Chains A and B, each alone.
Chain A
Amino acid sequence: MVPEEIIKKIWPKVRTKHLFPELPIPKVSEGRENVALEMKDKQITINTAFYDKIAHKMGVEEVVEALLDHGISHYTYCPWDFHTHLRLFREAKRVVQDKEQAKRAAGLFMDVVADTHCVKEKKTPLPELYKHIDKGKVDAVISSLYQKIWGLDLCAKEDEEVVRRLSRIPYLDKKQWDKSIQKFARVIKALLEVEEEEDRQEGNQTNPMGEHGLDGYTLEEIDQGLRNFANQNVGLKEFKETFEDFKDELKDVGYGMEGGMGRGEGTPLDADLIYYMKLAESYSIPIKKVPMEKRGFLNPHSHCPWEIGRPFQDVDVWTSFGKIMPGITQTWNKIEGSTFGERESVPDCIIIIDSSGSMTNPRKNLSYAVLGAACASDAYLRNDAKVAVYNFSDAPMGGKAILNFTAERVKIYGVLCKYFGGGTALNLNELDPLLDAAKEPDIFIITDMKITNLGKVIGYFQNINNRITAVYIGENTYALRFREAMEKKKNMSFYNVTKKEDIPKIVLGKIKEYFRGNL
Chain B
Amino acid sequence: MQNPFDDFRNHRTREREIPLDSIIQSRDRVMSQITKGYEKLLEEEVKELVWLVQYNTVIKAYTLAEKVVKEFEYKAEDIEEFCYELDSTDKIPYLITGPAGIYISALCNYAQEEEIILKLNDLKTQINLLGYRLPVGKKVAVEGNLGDFTGIGMEGGELVVEGNAKNYTGAGMKSGIVRISKNIGLHTGEWMMGGEIFVGGRVRGLGKIVDGKVYEDDKVIYPRNYRQSNAYY
Interface-forming stretch among B17-25, B150-158, B214-222, B223-231? B17-25
- Is there an interface contact between A95 and B15, defined as CB atoms closer than 8 Å? no
Question: In this assembly, does B119 line the interface, its C-beta being within 8 Å of a C-beta of chain A?
Answer: yes
Question: In this assembly, does A286 line the interface, its C-beta being within 8 Å of a C-beta of chain B?
Answer: no
- Is there an interface contact between B122 and A121, defined as CB atoms closer than 8 Å? no
- Is there an interface contact between B18 and A123, defined as CB atoms closer than 8 Å? no
- Is there an interface contact between A168 and B14, defined as CB atoms closer than 8 Å? no
Interface-forming stretch among A59-67, A147-155, A298-306? A147-155
Name A149's closest neighbour in chain B (CB-CB): B20
Name A169's closest neighbour in chain B (CB-CB): B24
Name A122's closest neighbour in chain B (CB-CB): B14
Known contacts A168-B81, A186-B122; A123 and B14 CB within 8 A of each other:
yes
Known contacts A164-B77, A168-B81, A179-B88; A150 and B20 CB within 8 A of each other:
yes
Number of chain B residues close to chain A: CB under 8 A: 18
Known contacts A95-B122, A168-B81, A186-B122; A120 and B16 CB within 8 A of each other:
yes
Query: Which residues of B sit under 8 angstroms from A150, Cβ to Cβ?
Result: 18-20
- Is there an interface contact between A151 and B122, defined as CB atoms closer than 8 Å? no
Q: What's the least CB distance linking B158 to chain A, in Å?
A: 18
Q: What's the least CB distance linking A392 to chain B, in Å?
A: 42
- Is there an interface contact between B18 and A168, defined as CB atoms closer than 8 Å? no
Complex Cα spacing A161 to B141, Å? 14
Question: In this assembly, does B13 line the interface, its C-beta being within 8 Å of a C-beta of chain A?
Answer: yes
Complex Cα spacing A173 to B119, Å? 23
Per-position 1/0 for A115-159, Cβ under 8 A of B:
010011111000000000000000000000000111100000000
B8-44: which have CB < 8 Å to A?
13-16, 18-20, 23-24, 27
Known contacts A95-B122, A179-B88; A165 and B77 CB within 8 A of each other:
yes
Known contacts A164-B77, A168-B77; A121 and B13 CB within 8 A of each other:
yes
Query: Which residues of B sit under 8 angstroms from A171, Cβ to Cβ?
Result: 20
Question: In this assembly, does A167 line the interface, its C-beta being within 8 Å of a C-beta of chain B?
Answer: yes
- Is there an interface contact between A168 and B24, defined as CB atoms closer than 8 Å? yes
Query: Which residues of B sit under 8 angstroms from A120, Cβ to Cβ?
Result: 15-16, 18, 20
Name B81's closest neighbour in chain A (CB-CB): A168
Query: Which residues of A sit under 8 angstroms from B77, Cβ to Cβ?
Result: 164-165, 168
Complex Cα spacing A122 to B16, Å? 9
Query: Which residues of A sit under 8 angstroms from B122, Cβ to Cβ?
Result: 94-95, 182, 186
Query: Which residues of A sit under 8 angstroms from B14, Cβ to Cβ?
Result: 121-123
Question: In this assembly, does A438 line the interface, its C-beta being within 8 Å of a C-beta of chain B?
Answer: no
- Is there an interface contact between B15 and A121, defined as CB atoms closer than 8 Å? yes
- Is there an interface contact between B16 and A170, defined as CB atoms closer than 8 Å? no
Query: Which residues of B sit under 8 angstroms from A94, Cβ to Cβ?
Result: 122
Complex Cα spacing A167 to B26, Å? 12
- Is there an interface contact between A151 and B19, defined as CB atoms closer than 8 Å? yes
B117-168: which have CB < 8 Å to A?
117, 119, 121-122
- Is there an interface contact between A148 and B15, defined as CB atoms closer than 8 Å? no
Query: Which residues of A sit under 8 angstroms from B15, Cβ to Cβ?
Result: 120-121
Name B120's closest neighbour in chain A (CB-CB): A186
- Is there an interface contact between A116 and B18, defined as CB atoms closer than 8 Å? yes
Per-position 1/0 for A350-384, Cβ under 8 A of B:
00000000000000000000000000000000000
Known contacts A95-B122, A186-B122; A168 and B27 CB within 8 A of each other:
yes
Query: Which residues of A sit under 8 angstroms from B16, Cβ to Cβ?
Result: 120
Residue among B20, B88, B117 making CB contact with A167, cutoff 8 Å: B20
Question: In this assembly, does A172 line the interface, its C-beta being within 8 Å of a C-beta of chain B?
Answer: yes
Q: What's the least CB distance linking A189 to chain B, in Å?
A: 9
Name B78's closest neighbour in chain A (CB-CB): A168
A178-196: which have CB < 8 Å to B?
179, 182-183, 186-187
Q: What's the least CB distance linking B85 to chain A, in Å?
A: 10
Query: Which residues of A sit under 8 angstroms from B13, Cβ to Cβ?
Result: 121
Complex Cα spacing A120 to B21, Å? 10
Q: What's the least CB distance linking A384 to chain B, in Å?
A: 42
Name B19's closest neighbour in chain A (CB-CB): A151
Per-position 1/0 for A311-351, Cβ under 8 A of B:
00000000000000000000000000000000000000000
- Is there an interface contact between B18 and A151, defined as CB atoms closer than 8 Å? yes
Query: Which residues of A sit under 8 angstroms from B18, Cβ to Cβ?
Result: 116, 119-120, 149-151
Name A94's closest neighbour in chain B (CB-CB): B122
Known contacts A122-B14, A179-B88; A168 and B23 CB within 8 A of each other:
yes
Complex Cα spacing A171 to B24, Å? 9
Name A124's closest neighbour in chain B (CB-CB): B14
Known contacts A95-B122, A182-B122, A186-B119; A170 and B24 CB within 8 A of each other:
yes
Complex Cα spacing A182 to B27, Å? 17
Query: Which residues of A sit under 8 angstroms from B27, Cβ to Cβ?
Result: 168
Query: Which residues of B sit under 8 angstroms from A116, Cβ to Cβ?
Result: 18, 20
Query: Which residues of B sit under 8 angstroms from A182, Cβ to Cβ?
Result: 122
Name A182's closest neighbour in chain B (CB-CB): B122
Name A161's closest neighbour in chain B (CB-CB): B117
Query: Which residues of B sit under 8 angstroms from A148, Cβ to Cβ?
Result: 19
Q: What's the least CB distance linking B13 to chain A, in Å?
A: 6
Most A C-beta atoms less than 10 A away, residue of B18, B84, B122: B18
Query: Which residues of A sit under 8 angstroms from B19, Cβ to Cβ?
Result: 148-151, 167
Q: What's the least CB distance linking A512 to chain B, in Å?
A: 37
Name A172's closest neighbour in chain B (CB-CB): B20
B192-206: which have CB < 8 Å to A?
none
Per-position 1/0 for B49-81, Cβ under 8 A of A:
000000000000000000000000000010001
Name B13's closest neighbour in chain A (CB-CB): A121
Query: Which residues of A sit under 8 angstroms from B81, Cβ to Cβ?
Result: 168, 183
Q: What's the least CB distance linking B17 to chain A, in Å?
A: 8
Known contacts A149-B18, A151-B18, A179-B88; A167 and B119 CB within 8 A of each other:
no
Complex Cα spacing A179 to B122, Å? 12
Complex Cα spacing A119 to B15, Å? 9
Name A96's closest neighbour in chain B (CB-CB): B122
Which residues of chain A have a CB within 8 Å of any CB of chain B?
Answer: 94-95, 116, 119-123, 148-151, 161, 164-165, 167-168, 170-173, 179, 182-183, 186-187
- 24 example contacts (A-B, Cβ-Cβ < 8 A) are as follows A94-B122, A95-B122, A116-B20, A119-B18, A120-B15, A120-B20, A121-B14, A121-B15, A122-B14, A123-B14, A149-B23, A150-B18, A150-B20, A167-B19, A167-B23, A168-B23, A168-B77, A170-B24, A171-B20, A173-B24, A183-B81, A186-B121, A186-B122, A187-B119
Q: A120-B16, A171-B20 are in contact. List 11 more A-B contacts (CB 8 A).
A: A120-B18, A148-B19, A151-B18, A151-B19, A164-B77, A167-B19, A167-B23, A168-B24, A179-B88, A183-B81, A186-B122
Query: What are the 9 A-B residue pairs with the smallest beta carbon separation, nearest first?
Result: A149-B20, A151-B19, A170-B24, A168-B27, A120-B18, A150-B18, A121-B15, A167-B23, A149-B19
